[in-house]
């Protein structure tokens, strides 16, 4: 694919999709966690910023010190080298204002070079597929994940970068995370989609999008398939601490086309407090479009599956989950939601959840931003990620 000629325009070159009025939203059951949509906005496909084609946004995180959001693109260095953007979002009485992109930074390999694309790969350098991003405490570095470059023998990657995008550290993930022959290991394009990091910075949770091959099939319309694995990593040592099995739903709609995907998996996770994660399930069915549901889990519950080479019925207990919101029930048509983070709390202390979609560089899609008020069980205010998530 030949990258289009890129303008050097700034934010004025971004084409913004008009926002629709929010539909009426159902009341949450008493005592249950809930989500209330506050506003939506979008950036049109084909928009350019700072010499790069904007799009493919697969992860988002907020910097409490600056108020900016960090966005990672899953462009495999095809339209421009692997990169992150910074942006500002303003939530007011009228809802979510149009996003304002403020910068772009290239991600760099340990060699110091920008990542090369698949058309001209470099020996010893993977072509990354960036999927998730989280600031480390202090704002000097951020974590980011890649789903891997399986065709060239590179498995999923967890890296840290300095604020300017230069390489800081790469973690050696367990051998079980690497692609393997004979029908075992993670699925290509179904690996490190979710990343949850506490502000304390000691533990990162890494979520697979799809089940490992030996664990069973991915979810489809007729079946929930096998569980996906979510693993806690101690960042200082790189040691895996705990792993839980999370069972996605069956895909909510069947595909309407004879060919094409029909699946559901985990597209993002986010720490709420010391022991709870929010889990975003994103489904797609060819001809039927996207769907999303948000769940809450307690990481202390369910089996520790670290020592299990394969998940089978009876050899483990999946982590129980509680539905927070089905976006279809909220009356909101969603795009390909892949990123989730906390925004600035509302005046009364309620948490604001910010979600973003990956437009796949597809002219028929857009980069959708959603701001929502999140209430935990009991109806109070959650810590909004201010407490370290521990295994």
**pLDDT, greater one: 264 or 19:** 264
Helices (H), the chain: none
Q: Are 271 and 296 in contact (CB under 8 A)?
A: no
Question: Shortest CA distance to 136 belongs to which of 108, 160, 169?
Answer: 160
Q: Over the stretch 152-193, which tens digit does the pLDDT of each residue have? A: 999 999 999 999 999 999 999 999 999 887 789 999 999 999
Q: How many C-alpha atoms does 378 have within 13 Å on its Cβ side?
A: 3
Burial class (CB in 10 A: 0-12, 13-18, 19+), 36: middle
Give the pLDDT score at 144. 98
Average pLDDT of the chain to the nearest whole number = 90
Which class does domain 11-375 fall in?
A: mainly beta
Which residues have CB under 8 Å from 297's CB, separation 6+? 244, 246, 276, 277, 279, 319, 320, 321, 322
**pLDDT band per the 50, 70, 90 thresholds, residue 64:** confident
Give the pLDDT score at 74. 98
- Distance, CA of 282 to CA of 358 (rounded, Å): 11
Q: Which of helix, strand or coil describes residue 11? A: helix
Three-state secondary structure readout of 230-268: EEEEECCCCCEEEEEEECCCCCCCCCCCCCCCEEEEEEE
Q: Over the stretch 251-310, which tens digit does the pLDDT of each residue have? A: 999 999 988 899 999 999 999 998 999 999 999 999 999 999 999 999 999 999 999 999
Reading across the β-sheet that carries 192-197, which strands appear in turn?
192-197, 203-208, 228-234, 240-246
Q: Please identify which residue in the block is written with the tokens 């279809």.
A: 328
- Distance, CA of 113 to CA of 106 (rounded, Å): 9
Q: Over the stretch 117-153, which tens digit does the pLDDT of each residue have? A: 999 999 999 999 999 999 999 999 999 999 999 999 9
Is the four-CA dihedral 288, 370, 197, 136 of positive or negative sign?
A: positive
Percent of the chain whose predicted confidence (pLDDT) is above 90: 81
pLDDT at 1 over 80: no
Give the pLDDT score at 26. 63
pLDDT at 2 over 50: no
Give the pLDDT score at 21. 57
**pLDDT, greater one: 263 or 5:** 263
Give the pLDDT score at 6. 29
Question: Model pTM?
Answer: 0.92
Give the pLDDT score at 23. 62
Give the pLDDT score at 181. 78
Q: Are 302 and 244 in contact (CB under 8 A)?
A: yes
Give the pLDDT score at 229. 98
Q: Over the stretch 192-223, which tens digit does the pLDDT of each residue have? A: 999 999 768 899 999 999 999 999 999 999 99
Q: Which of helix, strand or coil describes residue 176? A: helix
Give the pLDDT score at 388. 39
In DSSP terms, 234 is beta-bridged to 203
Pick from 29-33, 47-51, 125-129: least confident? 29-33
**pLDDT band per the 50, 70, 90 thresholds, residue 49:** very high
Q: Which of helix, strand or coil describes residue 111? A: coil
Compute φ and ψ for 211, nearest 5 degrees.
-65, 155
For 272-350, strand residue ranges (E) read 276-285, 289-298, 321-326, 337-343
Q: Are 289 and 252 in contact (CB under 8 A)?
A: no
**pLDDT band per the 50, 70, 90 thresholds, residue 30:** low
User: Using the 8-state DSSP alphabet, how is residue 12 labeled?
Assistant: G
Helices (H), 30-160: none
Which residues have CB under 8 Å from 78's CB, separation 6+? 1, 3, 117, 118, 119
pLDDT at 383 over 90: no
């Amino acid at each position: 694919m030949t990258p289009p000629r890129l303008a050097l325009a700034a934010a004025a070159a971004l084409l913004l999709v008009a926002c629709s009025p929010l539909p009426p939203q159902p009341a949450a059951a008493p005592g249950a966690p809930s989500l209330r949509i506050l506003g939506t906005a979008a950036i049109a496909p084909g928009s350019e910023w700072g010499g790069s084609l904007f799009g493919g946004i697969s992860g988002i995180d907020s910097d409490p010190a600056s108020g900016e959001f960090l966005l990672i693109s899953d462009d495999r260095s095809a339209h421009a080298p692997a990169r992150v953007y910074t942006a500002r979002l303003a939530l007011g009485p009228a809802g979510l204002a149009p996003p304002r992109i403020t910068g772009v930074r290239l991600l760099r390999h340990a060699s110091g070079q920008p990542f090369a694309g698949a058309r001209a790969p470099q020996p010893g350098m993977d072509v990354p597929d960036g999927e998730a991003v989280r600031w480390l405490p202090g704002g000097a570095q951020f974590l980011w994940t890649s789903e891997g470059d399986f065709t060239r023998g590179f498995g999923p990657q967890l890296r840290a970068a300095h604020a300017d995008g230069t390489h800081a550290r790469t973690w050696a993930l367990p051998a079980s995370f690497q692609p393997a022959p004979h029908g075992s290991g993670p699925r290509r394009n179904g690996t490190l989609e979710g990343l949850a990091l506490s502000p304390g910075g000691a533990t990162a949770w890494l979520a697979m999008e799809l089940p490992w091959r030996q664990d069973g099939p991915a979810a489809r319309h007729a079946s929930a398939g096998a569980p996906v694995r979510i693993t806690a990593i101690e960042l200082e040592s790189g040691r895996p601490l705990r792993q839980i099995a999370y069972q996605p739903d069956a895909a909510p709609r069947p595909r309407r086309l004879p060919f094409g995907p029909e699946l559901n998996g985990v597209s993002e996770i986010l720490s709420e407090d010391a022991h709870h994660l929010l889990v975003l399930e994103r489904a797609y069915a060819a001809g039927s479009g996207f769907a999303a549901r948000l769940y809450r889990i307690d990481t202390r519950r369910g089996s520790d599956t670290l020592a299990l080479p394969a998940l089978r019925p009876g050899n483990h207990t999946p982590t129980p989950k509680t539905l927070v919101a089905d976006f279809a029930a909220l009356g909101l048509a969603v795009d390909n939601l892949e990123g989730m983070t906390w925004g600035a709390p509302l005046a009364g202390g309620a948490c604001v959840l910010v979600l973003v979609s990956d437009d796949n560089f597809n002219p028929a899609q857009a980069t959708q931003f959603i701001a929502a008020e999140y209430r935990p069980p009991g109806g109070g205010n959650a810590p909004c990620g201010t407490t370290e998530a521990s295994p």
